[in-house]
A and B are shown apart, each in its own frame.
Chain A
Amino acid sequence: MNLYRASFIGWLLLALALLLAALGVCVGSAGFENLLKPLVNPLQDPGQTAMAWQIVWDIRLPRTLGAWAAGALLGLAGAMAQGLFRNPLADPFLLGSASGASLGVALVLAAMVGAAGMSGGGMMSDGTAFSVFGTGWLTRLGLTGAAFGGAMLAVLLTLALSNGVQHTLRLLLAGVVVGVVLGAMTHMVLLWSPESMQAMQAFMLGSTAFVGWTACAVMLGVWLLASVAGALLARMLDGLSLGEATAHSLGLPLVPMRLALVAVLALATGAAVAQTGLIAFVGLAAPHLVRSVVKTTHGRLILLSSLMGGVLLMAADTLARWLIAPQELPVGVLTAVLGGGYLLWLMHRGTRGGGLAP
């Protein structure tokens, strides 16, 4: 029964994603009819058609797909973190890995701006202006690598501070401490390199506005990799849900498995954060939403949370563009407000018996 329900929800989420993608391509400062007319009648005004095509292909499609991919990465990371730490509050943000990832990005940014500054006026050696949302492969992969390193460091630091994963409260406290300290370090790096401040601001708020095809490809590639890793490690997460001692008694290799999970978690978070900045609560909310409709094994939970995360962020992105059009909200601000409300509701429900009881 659960299997049918899970696959039904999977298909439903895919259909929703397609619907939202279509909607996402239509919503923006240039309205739907302004785009549709030249695209349907290309001969009427070739100039208009080219512009409409450019808006759809170069701007809206990659950012819409990018929103899905970033959300999918965060949802996947959230489901893995909650399984690994056996804690329903675990989330890429609460464990400090997102702050670690943004510190990595800030460091690379400051270093590159510094190097560019020496060779003249905020330009890279090849003459292009460097930005955190630059579209070159090297930039994207470099930033992703830095974000991955930062995220990995943050999770390991959280684990070291909390002395393992047994004590929920200590773990969350350690995550908060690591998040705050690394956040402060990010700000220090930015103060030290004021040129990168403006580029970082949009990044810190979380935005999908600058996601291009390269960023999309990087995220989708990492998502594929992380999904495969998730499928490989899912049964071990199921074993771990019986408690550490039982998992050990079943002969599961806990240490290498934990390391692999932390690495995948950091890679997924790092890849999302490097392209879209800090987008809060998607990683926390997606697995909870899935669990509230179907109880299933980690293999399916990870996949469904990933699809759910993609749909959530795509919906939030469309909403962020539409709410105060023609201006747009940074999507991170929107998810923080909505996700914060959702978390409060979960806690409220939890105190009345159910919900968040670990």
Chain B
Amino acid sequence: MTSIAVRASRISARLGNTEILHDVSLALPQGRWTSIVGPNGAGKSTLLKVLTGLLPCQGRVELFGRPLASIPPKKRAQQLAWLGQSELAADDLTVWDVVMLGRLPHQAWLAAPSQADWAAVEMALTSTQAWDWRSRSVGQLSGGERQRVLLARALAVQARVLLMDEPLANLDPPHQADWLGVVRCLLESGVTVVSVLHEISMALHSDEMVIMAAGRVTHQGISADPATHRALEAVFDYRITIHPLAKQWVALPN
């Protein structure tokens, strides 16, 4: 039996005066890739923020069996990396500097970057094909290039759990395929990957799916399971259908 990396029990969360998540419970297995999908406004990003500890909530979130709130921030940051949706990208810093910020959880205050930090940054930059522009400032990059730098920043943390909110935003098809390769590499090294995705055909490559609507989880199951496909079609009002194609599952509009 696989152990659970992140477990959320009876989560409710608010943004301002509006309750966004209602009584959500889920368990994300260790070393697996879980995709969170659902229509706009379903609460996917909010759920991801709650799981990262960025948003206060009612209920209980556990990271490897320990209550998330009881883990010191730095320790938590070493184990759990988060890539936000349309976050700022520090236009004045160089690509290298931004990715090096991903090493902050591992560095002592004021300490110079160690060999391990340099190696992690180099690895993150090469795996997102951003190595060539490491000395350019982020402000000079296009939207897709910037997204790859931010992804490299999250990879550089080398956390055991990586949560990504719309990581494919602005990426062209070749780089979307590269991202899939990066995720597979992470899974091979035992990292737990969680992603919020709007690209359903991409999400169908994941091991498991969490399907959300209106602040609740409507279904959680194996991505290849027909029951998951039916739930997916239902949550999008049967406007899409899941088909097999070239040994993959694809979502096509009806």
In the complex, A295 has a CB within 8 A of chain B? yes
- Point out the residue from B88, B94, B135 that lies within 8 Å of A242, measured CB to CB: B88
In the complex, A31 has a CB within 8 A of chain B? no
B84-A246 in contact (CB<8A): yes
Output the nearest chain B residue to A301 by Cβ-Cβ distance.
Answer: B92
A243-B105 in contact (CB<8A): no
A238-B54 in contact (CB<8A): no
A239-B104 in contact (CB<8A): yes
B97-A238 in contact (CB<8A): yes
In the complex, B5 has a CB within 8 A of chain A? no
- Tell me the chain B residues, 58-77 only, with Cβ under 8 Å from chain A: 72-77
Question: Looking at A232, A245, A253, which has the most chain B CB atoms within 10 Å of its CB?
Answer: A245
B90-A238 in contact (CB<8A): yes
> Contacts A1-B135, A2-B135, A295-B137: A253 and B73 contacting too (C-beta < 8 A)?
yes
B120 to chain A, nearest CB (A): 14
- Tell me the chain B residues, 144-178 only, with Cβ under 8 Å from chain A: 153, 157
A241-B88 in contact (CB<8A): yes
A251-B104 in contact (CB<8A): yes
In the complex, A168 has a CB within 8 A of chain B? no
- Tell me the chain A residues, 284-312 only, with Cβ under 8 Å from chain B: 291, 295-297, 301
In the complex, B102 has a CB within 8 A of chain A? yes
- Residues on the B chain within 8 Å of A1, using CB: 135
Number of A-B residue pairs at CB separation under 8 A: 78
B110-A243 in contact (CB<8A): no
B87-A250 in contact (CB<8A): no
In the complex, B143 has a CB within 8 A of chain A? no
Output the nearest chain B residue to A249 by Cβ-Cβ distance.
Answer: B82
> Contacts A86-B88, A250-B77, A253-B73: A295 and B101 contacting too (C-beta < 8 A)?
no
Question: In the bound complex, what is the Cα–Cα distance between A245 and B157 (angstroms)?
Answer: 15
Question: In the bound complex, what is the Cα–Cα distance between A252 and B101 (angstroms)?
Answer: 11
B116 to chain A, nearest CB (A): 17
- Point out the residue from A249, A252, A297 that lies within 8 Å of B54, measured CB to CB: A249
B90-A249 in contact (CB<8A): no
- Interface residue total, chain A, C-beta cutoff 8 A: 23
- Residues on the A chain within 8 Å of B35, using CB: none
A250-B104 in contact (CB<8A): yes
Output the nearest chain B residue to A234 by Cβ-Cβ distance.
Answer: B110
- Point out the residue from B77, B93, B139 that lies within 8 Å of A251, measured CB to CB: B77
- Residues on the B chain within 8 Å of A235, using CB: 104, 109-110
What string of 1s and 0s marks CB contacts (under 8 Å) between A4-32 and chain B? 00000000000000000000000000000
A251 to chain B, nearest CB (A): 3
B77 to chain A, nearest CB (A): 3
Output the nearest chain A residue to B96 by Cβ-Cβ distance.
Answer: A2
In the complex, B34 has a CB within 8 A of chain A? no
Question: In the bound complex, what is the Cα–Cα distance between A250 and B90 (angstroms)?
Answer: 15
Question: In the bound complex, what is the Cα–Cα distance between A71 and B77 (angstroms)?
Answer: 39
- Residues on the B chain within 8 Å of A238, using CB: 90, 93, 97, 101
B77-A296 in contact (CB<8A): no
Question: In the bound complex, what is the Cα–Cα distance between A252 and B78 (angstroms)?
Answer: 12
A291 to chain B, nearest CB (A): 6
Question: In the bound complex, what is the Cα–Cα distance between A241 and B87 (angstroms)?
Answer: 10
A247 to chain B, nearest CB (A): 9
A interface, CB within 8 angstroms of B: 1-2, 86, 232, 235, 238-239, 241-243, 245-246, 248-253, 291, 295-297, 301
Listed A/B pairs (14) with beta-carbon separation below 8 Å: A2-B135, A232-B109, A239-B104, A242-B90, A242-B98, A245-B54, A249-B54, A249-B81, A249-B84, A250-B77, A252-B104, A291-B92, A295-B92, A297-B97
B interface, CB within 8 angstroms of A: 49, 52-54, 72-78, 80-82, 84, 87-94, 97-98, 101-102, 104-105, 109-110, 135, 137, 139, 153, 157
Known pairs A238-B101, A246-B88 / 16 extra A-B pairs, C-beta < 8 Å: A86-B88, A235-B110, A238-B93, A241-B90, A242-B87, A242-B90, A243-B87, A246-B84, A249-B53, A249-B77, A249-B84, A250-B101, A251-B105, A253-B73, A295-B92, A296-B93
The 10 tightest CB contacts between A and B, nearest first, are A251-B77, A241-B90, A249-B82, A243-B88, A251-B74, A251-B73, A295-B137, A243-B87, A295-B92, A250-B104
